[in-house]
Structure 1
């Protein structure tokens, strides 16, 4: 009877289990501890951020967080293209004036310009996020600036501090942050560059190095040094809401740096708070817990699992833009014009190192947006023609929306212009390089290896940046034939490439010195991946089409860098991503003063053309005018003629978002866009339940069958254990 009772209990538990599957909770929900219908964006990150200190943070993985927390003076307009700067913490765009070497005012075009002075006026009333660094007692003394080991015994995160405070953002905070760039303990990645531009920064760096040495502060050691006691000649606060930055000479690109986290406000109270040894031992530092005035603050930092941003309750406010490109209104991107930002209350980042589990969760609705990668391309998109794609049927049925943008990046192959064979500027040398450029079928490359997710680079300057042109005049006529009647162009034939090769002195690709096919060498950083090997095999075939033998020399990355630095190579592949959206930031990679061999610059081709240099130096300090555009076109024509590079493309990013995510516009330069995203959480919960409703009837039937199969055995066992006792006859007859 006991066994039957147990089977009965099992049946009841099974019934309850099946009944639970009929409720509204999905069994596979990874956010069981999160509240339903929260105004929360769920997304992922693939690499843990190493630095969140704005003086040293520089990677795209870190920018996802720093751009939401900190507020530099400027930002990029969310909708306008080409990319255009607008105000963020600044009340208005910086006022720029010019001075001679004696500090006397001069005009912008005066030949005596020695300094450019940027005057920045801040918005009033901006407050820092709630933070224990600002907490004070009734006497106005800081509560947590002199902590003892005993006081931090139960402090493991920033949230463990009971008291928090805030204060207004001031001009002094921006000056303080610029001084931090010179802090020897930080090793800011932009110090070397900014020393050449910001007056007095190099001198401050030298002064701080001496101070650290005199006080025996070792490299990398965190000690509180009050930078307020040090002056920097080119940076000063004029009053509570105004400060000036003096730039050496003319450097109009500096305005773009004012949109980066390097130039955000930093309160000295936070630096003093985080410099305490008792906190550093617990990994409570500025690198771990940022202090900003932006729309979000970091409330959970567990980079091996999850990071969480929440709306900053002290955020001063910002509104969605009311103007953009001509088709933005038609596309619905202006429907929220004038509404308060941010739209989200919370952003949850989950660490996903592998794409497959991330993609599965996206399809289940547990992530709100996704990029299209090589791993999920076939499931996400279907090609209709070259570079034209649409959503797959599965995603179309789910109501997923697709958006695309061309990233401000240039990937290319290049020649070492110092090499005896492929370098040089004679007509024959140019024809050799032009022949190779024709043979390099980039349309095929983009189709095979990028699934069409790329734009063939006709020019160095990518789409979305001033100087890029979308017309037949910009097409490389050394590589393509132009059909003006049909407004189209087509890659020149291999026959043309062979003709150029013969005119270069290599008929049918034969080297007259050896009487054998010309041998060229491509140096690459070693990669044994199947994709890399397939690409190299394809590359060899391109050269073979014109009779040239390409030999790939793969080396370790450090060895490869050494060979490039010494000029010990012929061909190479490279990439350049925009630091800021200005044509100077791309064309400078062909400026002779940036030669890799001579000056350790970014001109890896070591290209040197006096005409190019003259035009480039004139163009780089000009405003975006018609004249500047004309000079850029001339520069591109010179590069097409000399052909120091070939086979370039600009990658295309495809983004997916579920139908409950509001309309967004990709931005390839900045990472401010999260404040513009909105979520319909009610719709999301409905679709999650519909897409993840458990199918329990097979399990129910299996359990019932199992129960039925067990019942005969249970009955036999019961009958056996409950058989009446029968005494033996002899024993039964005894008195």
Structure 2
């Protein structure tokens, strides 16, 4: 119903006064720039962000940091890392105690742990599970009164209901059940499923007894029933057996000491048969709803909202078992306040909200406003956030300190590198002669791209030039002259010195590209760098790289794409040059060298060797090294491996990063950890303090509205006077006298 308001001078003044007071009244007690729903104010949630949507949330597949950050809070493998102790120490997660590890020769005779690898025919890990662990609520476990499954045959309307941001959690009456040893067995079998395409299958097939045979069996069944769900429960796997509901036994071929670390990774988290069957329904497959988008675990948190374009939310798992905050750590932890919550039940926050931030500047501004609880520091924000003293000490700036913001730093057990796809005809070569020339080209590029300058300009000094695939903190890394890459550096005056640009040009000429042009055709050398936007792929970085390569006469073409498309290029081998980084899964050199192991080739085997590097001698040494204990003999083998990969240059060893993390004063129990990912359960939040600070820092500035209204009044006043004068005229245009 439409209506007209008769505007008089008095009404106009009232409207203007209301317009003036409205922002004042609505602004009382609230922040206009709050990016979160008002219902979340004062809640005991942790707020953080993600920049790239996770491609995989299936624990058998996920291997990237932006995926594991979610999975590690939801799933529980048998073991985990102690949150505070250094060196990193494995402790039980779902087990009653440490695994019982036994070694046997080919006749079945028990051997000592110190037995040489060539005498060990098999290794048996026996694990006893706790009996108080239950899964999060989920429709896969929901049962009818007669014991039949409620949701294993979803109709079309139910399938539509789970397609939204709340996924399967939209279905009413979810169920649960206890963790069983068979759930771990089922997940290990999933590693062998050809349709899953687990990135660790090739490696695990070398170790877990019968895994390769199982994979062939599954493939045969899948080929006979295209698209059908395959029940893995009845399929035999001698290398993974549930002795009873709470006893798990895993048998390895030979001796593989690093396997204990894999038991702390998401690949060995439990997946129940019911969950696999639930997501195997045709209705859900057609809707792209799967374990790869909606994980199901026993961990401290469960996923309750998944919109990877904007927000992913984890909430406290109401069925999470009794786990306590540690009461011991390393020296200095007590003084740092890291033992205040000794024996407190975990998790300490009720949920975690991840908001997608594609650019660093909006994220940084929201951190300063209190809407994110912790933050890294981009190069653009470094001078605003950090002060470096003349003695080299690093502290937060006075402005940051005034806000109660604190800094934590750590050298990461990580390596960033520029990879060469050795299947490419230019940087890899097809024939032996082409491969020889391509190696010289890679060496020339390794010298020409000045990592020291890059670290200074783009990282504000937060890194060390890479000398090989092994970072500091991992056995095999050597500091000083013994640890330099002699292809790129010489040792002079007690420090590494990069070889000259002239040496790079000489190598380029030997490779058949004098001054960056083909010796035979005269055509310029054009290299293609595939990258994602942001970080190492931002425009300023790429401009710098182009200038560096121009010194050799080489043209660089940057092909920017999103992260998922980038991964697809690596899988297909269509990339030429690319940037990647690797964080230690566990503190052992094998976890870095396997990235260059031939049978891990990305294109041929679906592994993590994205360079598709293959050197038979390196592969032989890798197989020797991986089973050796740390010591001089192992170091000698590692030195030989380093010599090969420095000479072959499948990577440009870019840098070893140093992490700077800022946190607000209301966030407690934050200790940087290079290998553990399930650390959010330990963090504590002072939600009241955060809310008070947000209000203080984000009070709306109301005085501009006063000036705005005053300006409007000044503009309207002449018109208002004219209007009132016209209102005093009668129908004949004569002024009416008012008595």
Which TM bucket (shorter chain)?
A: 0.7 to 0.9
Q: CA deviation at 1:23?
A: 1.6
Question: Which has the higher mean CA deviation after the structures are superposed, 104-113 or 347-356?
Answer: 104-113
In 1: Cα distance, 2:160 partner to 2:513 partner:
79
Q: CA deviation at 1:179?
A: 1.5
1:525 to 529, 548, 558: 529
* 2:724 alignment partner in structure 1: 718
Aligned CA distance change for structure 1 residues 468 and 88 (closer, same or farther; 3 Å): farther
Question: Which has the higher mean CA deviation after the structures are superposed, 350-359 or 361-370?
Answer: 350-359
Q: Is the 8 A contact 2:214 2:236 kept in 1?
A: yes
For structure 1, which runs of at least 5 residues remain unmatched after alignment?
484-488, 542-548, 729-735
Q: CA deviation at 1:310?
A: 0.5
Question: What's the secondary structure of 2:61's corresponding residue?
Answer: coil
Aligned CA distance change for structure 1 residues 458 and 77 (closer, same or farther; 3 Å): farther
Q: Is the 8 A contact 1:597 1:606 kept in 2?
A: no
Q: Is the 8 A contact 2:78 2:93 kept in 1?
A: yes
Aligned CA distance change for structure 1 residues 379 and 59 (closer, same or farther; 3 Å): same
Q: Is the 8 A contact 2:415 2:653 kept in 1?
A: no
**1:700-715 correspondence runs (5 A):** 700-715=706-721
* 1:455 alignment partner in structure 2: 464
Q: CA deviation at 1:113?
A: 1.8
* 1:246 alignment partner in structure 2: 251
Question: Which has the higher mean CA deviation after the structures are superposed, 442-451 or 251-260?
Answer: 442-451
Deviations 1:667-699 (A, max 9, x none): 333421211222111111111111111111121
Deviations 1:381-406 (A, max 9, x none): 35557986543443233222222233
Q: CA deviation at 1:15?
A: 4.2
Aligned CA distance change for structure 1 residues 600 and 692 (closer, same or farther; 3 Å): closer
For the pair 1:163 / 2:167, whether they are aligned, the reply is no
For the pair 1:538 / 2:520, whether they are aligned, the reply is no
In 1: Cα distance, 2:468 partner to 2:265 partner:
27
Q: Is the 8 A contact 2:199 2:606 kept in 1?
A: no
Aligned CA distance change for structure 1 residues 93 and 720 (closer, same or farther; 3 Å): same
Q: CA deviation at 1:439?
A: 8.0
* 2:190 alignment partner in structure 1: 180
Aligned CA distance change for structure 1 residues 45 and 90 (closer, same or farther; 3 Å): same
Aligned CA distance change for structure 1 residues 23 and 226 (closer, same or farther; 3 Å): same
**1:107-186 correspondence runs (5 A):** 107-108=112-113, 109-110=115-116, 111-149=118-156, 157-186=167-196
Question: What's the secondary structure of 2:336's corresponding residue?
Answer: coil
* 1:26 alignment partner in structure 2: 31
1:298 to 297, 303, 311: 303
Aligned CA distance change for structure 1 residues 39 and 616 (closer, same or farther; 3 Å): same
Q: Is the 8 A contact 1:402 1:657 kept in 2?
A: yes
Question: What's the secondary structure of 2:221's corresponding residue?
Answer: helix
Q: CA deviation at 1:580?
A: 3.5
Aligned CA distance change for structure 1 residues 705 and 604 (closer, same or farther; 3 Å): closer
* 2:3 alignment partner in structure 1: none
In 1: Cα distance, 2:293 partner to 2:46 partner:
22
Q: Is the 8 A contact 1:98 1:106 kept in 2?
A: yes
Question: What's the secondary structure of 2:408's corresponding residue?
Answer: strand
For the pair 1:687 / 2:697, whether they are aligned, the reply is no
In 1: Cα distance, 2:265 partner to 2:570 partner:
33
For the pair 1:698 / 2:704, whether they are aligned, the reply is yes
Question: What's the secondary structure of 2:69's corresponding residue?
Answer: helix
Query: What do you get for the CA RMSD once the two structures are aligned?
Result: 4.4
* 2:202 alignment partner in structure 1: 192
**1:218-297 correspondence runs (5 A):** 218=227, 223-297=228-302
Q: Is the 8 A contact 1:416 1:605 kept in 2?
A: no
* 1:396 alignment partner in structure 2: 401
In 1: Cα distance, 2:482 partner to 2:124 partner:
38
In 2: Cα distance, 1:556 partner to 1:349 partner:
28
For the pair 1:209 / 2:219, whether they are aligned, the reply is yes
Q: Is the 8 A contact 2:417 2:651 kept in 1?
A: no
In 1: Cα distance, 2:47 partner to 2:216 partner:
46
Q: Is the 8 A contact 1:410 1:462 kept in 2?
A: no
Q: Is the 8 A contact 1:406 1:653 kept in 2?
A: yes
Aligned CA distance change for structure 1 residues 244 and 435 (closer, same or farther; 3 Å): same
2:52 to 47, 51, 57: 47
Deviations 1:347-405 (A, max 9, x none): 11112222222222222111112222244334433555798654344323322222223
Q: Is the 8 A contact 2:490 2:499 kept in 1?
A: no
In 2: Cα distance, 1:551 partner to 1:725 partner:
86
* 1:446 alignment partner in structure 2: 455
For the pair 1:341 / 2:346, whether they are aligned, the reply is yes
Q: Is the 8 A contact 2:203 2:600 kept in 1?
A: no
Aligned CA distance change for structure 1 residues 92 and 359 (closer, same or farther; 3 Å): same
Deviations 1:247-300 (A, max 9, x none): 122222222222222211112222223333344455543233221100001111
Question: What's the secondary structure of 2:48's corresponding residue?
Answer: strand
Aligned CA distance change for structure 1 residues 196 and 618 (closer, same or farther; 3 Å): closer
In 1: Cα distance, 2:284 partner to 2:721 partner:
68
Q: Is the 8 A contact 1:46 1:351 kept in 2?
A: yes
In 2: Cα distance, 1:350 partner to 1:193 partner:
35
* 2:381 alignment partner in structure 1: 376
Q: Is the 8 A contact 2:546 2:556 kept in 1?
A: no
Q: Is the 8 A contact 1:605 1:645 kept in 2?
A: no
In 2: Cα distance, 1:691 partner to 1:283 partner:
43
* 1:89 alignment partner in structure 2: 94
TM (norm. structure 1) is 0.81
For structure 2, which runs of at least 5 residues remain unmatched after alignment?
1-5, 421-426, 519-524, 532-536, 735-739
In 1: Cα distance, 2:110 partner to 2:74 partner:
37
In 2: Cα distance, 1:638 partner to 1:278 partner:
52
Q: Is the 8 A contact 2:86 2:330 kept in 1?
A: yes
Q: CA deviation at 1:453?
A: 1.9
In 2: Cα distance, 1:652 partner to 1:513 partner:
35
